[in-house]
Structure 1
Amino acid sequence: MVPGECEELLGALSRATARHRLAVLGLGGIADCGALRVGLRRARRLAHRLALASCSRLAAGLQARPRGPDERARLQRLWLILDSLLEGLAMDMRRTLALARAFPLAQPDVRELQRAIQQLGQAMRELEQKVSVSPWTVEAAQPPGAELRAALSASDSSLAPPSVGEEGRSFCHNGGLRLGVVFGALLGVAIVLAVCLGQLA
């Protein structure tokens, strides 16, 4: 159950960090307003809460004795995902703090943001201390590029040009023929006009 619970937490954290990043990107821009600041604060609080819960749950799962090598490998891959999400969230929070100096936030929000950054950094350090996972030792669940190839093959039908039947080919052919005739007629008229104007001159 531990890997499944961690996957659910990381899925929620991934969505929360994405919403938080969208709000951060709007800070200081033309979309900046009171509603954006409120949404940013809510998104940050949710992402922060989920990040701390994910750290605690995944650390407990890795410190406990896994049921087998497959479960441990699965937890280690989840640890890498969590590490990436935490780095992104911390970066967005620091960016928010920097923007808050140029586009002032309410003072309580700044203090809350500073505490959240400190707590997140502490949680990341504690996770590294409790769980020693070297990224280069984690084995991928699929061969390199498998997910990309699967995505591309699934979209082949939408990316491939539609097949042209006999009727379509004859239509294209006739359309091109008509276009050539019209273009030739226009060219002929232009030549005749040029000759007439030359004679008048």
Structure 2
Amino acid sequence: MAPGQRDVCRARGAAGMCAAAQAALCKATAVHRLLVLQLGGSSDSLWLREERGRRSTEARELSTGLRYMLLEGLEQAVAGSEERRQLEQLWVLFLSALELFLQDLRRAHHLCQLFSVQRGGTAPLHTGLGGRRGGGPVQSPIALSLEEEMEQVRAMLVETENRVNIPLWTVEATEPEGTGSSMGRVTQGEPPTGHCCSIL
């Protein structure tokens, strides 16, 4: 097999593995979002917050693995090839997924500061009528952990943006046949569920 053909085969394999990892990341961040939306509500509890932490860890591990796979695949892919375009699409979707994940972490951090959970109990719904104890909110260990999570994801997002030179304005929104408005789902805050862009 010629060197160029080997590169194509490696890129094709990388695109398939990255697509599978992207789907797993979207699923993990979607579950994490559902847990975040319950913070401060009637179903909030220590278990919920611990489960959110586990899901966040899963999403960050998937993000780290996908990032390395994408970078390696883009380095090996033949310029101008279909495989290269697929990897570039996945790179853009990966950045979008990271941005949404970071937004959810910020939301979780804010809600955990507003609503405290005692071990063995549930979080009360704060109405604002009782004021604040001690003159201000007390940061829990969960809130401090969330700050570290946010910093890790933020740093990964910045580093990933700077490692690959793919201008985002070269990406065109598309809609796969028979799937409805996939870009509409993304703009409403839901994680992307498939390929919804192509390189111009």
Report the TM range for the smaller structure's normalisation. Answer: 0.5 to 0.7
Q: What are the ranges of 5 or more consecutive residues in structure 1 without an aligned counterpart?
A: 153-201
Aligned residues: 147
Is the contact made by 1:73 and 1:138 (CA closer than 8 Å) also made in structure 2? no
TM-score (norm 2): 0.67
Q: For residue 107 of structure 1, report the CA deviation from its aligned partner.
A: 3.4
Aligned residue number for residue 76 of structure 1: 88
Aligned residue number for residue 111 of structure 2: 99
Aligned residue number for residue 119 of structure 1: 152
Is the contact made by 2:113 and 2:140 (CA closer than 8 Å) also made in structure 1? no
Q: For residue 63 of structure 1, report the CA deviation from its aligned partner.
A: 2.7
Which 4+ runs in 1 deviate beyond 6 A? none
Aligned residue number for residue 53 of structure 1: 65
Report the more deviating stretch, 68-77 or 17-26.
Answer: 68-77
Is the contact made by 1:86 and 1:124 (CA closer than 8 Å) also made in structure 2? yes
Is the contact made by 1:90 and 1:120 (CA closer than 8 Å) also made in structure 2? yes
Aligned residue number for residue 98 of structure 2: 86
- Counterpart among 30, 40, 48 of residue 42 in structure 2: 30
Q: Secondary structure at the match of 1:84?
A: helix
CA distance in 2, matches of 1:110, 1:64: 41
One-letter identity of the residue aligned with 1:135: L
Q: Secondary structure at the match of 1:26?
A: coil
Cα 1:146–1:50 change in 2 (3 A) is closer
Q: For residue 68 of structure 1, report the CA deviation from its aligned partner.
A: 5.5
Q: For residue 109 of structure 1, report the CA deviation from its aligned partner.
A: 2.4
Aligned residue number for residue 136 of structure 1: 169
Is the contact made by 1:63 and 1:131 (CA closer than 8 Å) also made in structure 2? no
Which is helix-richer, 1 or 2? Answer: 1
One-letter identity of the residue aligned with 1:122: A
- Counterpart among 9, 15, 28 of residue 3 in structure 1: 15
Cα 1:146–1:56 change in 2 (3 A) is closer
TM-score (norm 1): 0.67
Higher RCO (C-alpha under 8 Å, 6+ residues apart)? 2
Higher Rg: 1
